[in-house]
Structure 1
Amino acid sequence: MSGTSTGQPPAEAQPSNWNLPNALTTLRIVLVPFFGWALLHDGGDSITWRIVAWAIFFVAMVTDKIDGDIARARNLITDFGKIADPIADKAITGMAFIGLSIIMDTWWMWTITIVVLVREWAVTLLRLSVLKSVVIAAARSGKWKTAVQALALGFLTLPLLEVGDEVGWLEIPGEVVYVGAIGLLLIAFVLTLWSGYEFFRDVWKQRHSIRRSSAA
Structure 2
Amino acid sequence: MERSDEFPVGRAHLRDTRVGGVIGICNCKVLHEASIVVYRYDGGVTDANSTSSAAHDKPSNWNLPNVLTCARIVFIPVFAWLALRGYVWWSFSLFVLLMITDKIDGDIARARNLITDFGKIMDPIADKALMATALVCLNLAYGLPWWITAVILFREFGITLWRMFMLRQGKVVPASKGGKLKTVLQSFAVALYLCPLPGWMDPVALMVMLLAVVVTVVTGVQYLVDGYRENSRA
TM over 0.5: yes
Tell which structure's C-alpha radius of gyration is larger: 2
**In structure 1, what is the equivalent of residue 65 of structure 2?**
21
Q: Distance in 1 between matches of 2:94 and 2:73?
A: 11
Which residue is equivalent to 1:148?
A: 185
CA distance in structure 1 between the partners assigned to 2:153 and 2:220 by the alignment: 11
The alignment's TM-score, normalised by the length of structure 1, stands at 0.80
Query: Equivalent of 2:112, from 32, 57, 74?
Result: 74
Q: How many residues align?
A: 189
1:134 CA displacement: 4.0
- Alignment of 1:36 with 2:80, yes or no, is yes
The counterpart of 1:61, out of the listed 96, 99, 103, is: 99
8 Å CA contact 1:83, 1:128 repeated in 2: no
Deviations 1:180-205 (A, max 9, x none): 11111011000000000001112222
- Aligned structure 1 segments of 4 or more residues deviating by more than 6 angstroms: none
Task: Measure the CA separation in 2 of the matches of 1:86 and 1:204.
Answer: 22
**How far apart, in 2, do the equivalents of 1:153 and 1:80 lie?**
27
Alignment of 1:24-173 (within 5 A): 24-41=68-85, 46=86, 49-105=87-143, 109-131=145-167, 133-160=170-197
Q: Which amino acid aligns with 2:223?
A: F
1:175 corresponds to 2:211? no
| Amino acid corresponding to residue 177 of structure 2 in structure 1 | R
- Paired letter, 2:37: S
| Residue in 2 that maps onto 1:163 | none
Aligned to 2:233, what secondary structure does the other structure show? Answer: helix
Q: CA deviation at 1:175?
A: 2.1
TM-score normalised by L of structure 2: 0.74
Shift of 1:129: 4.4
Q: Secondary structure at the match of 1:140?
A: coil
Instruction: Specify which structure has the higher proportion of helix.
Output: 1
Bigger strand share? 2
In structure 2, the residue matched to 1:167 is none
Deviations 1:87-132 (A, max 9, x none): 00001111111110112446xx200100100110112233344326
User: Helix, strand or coil: the match of 1:5?
Assistant: strand
Cα pair 1:64 1:89 within 8 Å, conserved: yes
Cα distance between partner residues in 1 of 2:115 and 2:74: 20
Structure 1: gaps (5+ residues): 161-173, 211-216
Alpha-carbon spacing, 1:89–1:155, altered in 2? closer, same or farther (3 Å): same
- Structure 1 equivalent of residue 21 of structure 2: none
| Higher relative contact order, structure no. (Cα contacts within 8 Å, ≥ 6 residues apart) | 1
5+ long unaligned stretches in structure 2: 1-23, 27-35, 39-44
SS at match of 1:8: strand
